[in-house]
Amino acid sequence: MRIGELADRTGVSVRSLRYYETKGLLASERTSGGQREYPEAAVDRVRRIQEMFAAGLHSDTVGDLLPCIHDVDGTPTETATPYLVAKLTEERERIEQAMRDLHRTRDVLDGVIAAASDTKTKGSTDHQ
């Protein structure tokens, strides 16, 4: 499939797909006219890449991780190395900390919302 079709099927911009190629995350063949041609499996590969970026992983880490998971379902392969396990453990800790920070921020916002809601129900003047 051509790059435009891959972009349409995955919801990822053509520019991002080209970036994935330059980082070695995605591969294509070239037609005699120089156009990129992707296999059907590229759809799953792009979805895996998107999931990892959404989790906050850096493109270098994604590149390290991709050979260690199956594109179709994200399950692990047998190629994980101790270095990769250590790196991914660090990434997991970073994500856990970010989640704790977000929960604290959400709790603060909930408190402000509750306080503002109580003020409104007591007939106070609205402050914007």
**Same domain for 64 and 52:** yes
Beta carbons within 8 Å of 43's beta carbon, 6+ residues apart: 6, 9, 10
Is the predicted pLDDT of residue 128 greater than 60, yes or no? no
Tokens matching residue 58: 């850096």
Whether the Cβ atoms of residue 41 and residue 51 lie closer than 8 Å to each other: no
The predicted-structure confidence for 8-17, as pLDDT tens digits, reads as follows: 999 999 999 9
Given this model, what pLDDT does residue 127 score? 55
d(CA 99, CA 107) in angstroms, rounded, equals 12
CA atoms within 13 A on the CB side of 128: 0
Given this model, what pLDDT does residue 1 score? 95
User: Whole-model pTM?
Assistant: 0.70
* Of the candidates 50, 51, 42, the residue with the CA atom closest to the CA atom of residue 3: 42
The predicted-structure confidence for 15-69, as pLDDT tens digits, reads as follows: 999 999 999 999 999 989 989 999 999 999 999 999 999 988 889 889 988 888 8
Instruction: Count up the domains in the chain and report the number.
Output: 2
**Same domain for 71 and 85:** no
- The CA distances from residue 34 to 20, 31, 37, 83, in Å, are 18, 5, 9, 38
Give me the domain span that covers residue 66: 1-79
**Same domain for 88 and 41:** no
The predicted-structure confidence for 66-120, as pLDDT tens digits, reads as follows: 888 888 888 888 877 787 788 888 888 988 999 999 999 999 999 999 999 987 6
**Same domain for 55 and 72:** yes
- The CA distances from residue 64 to 59, 108, 127, in Å, are 9, 37, 51
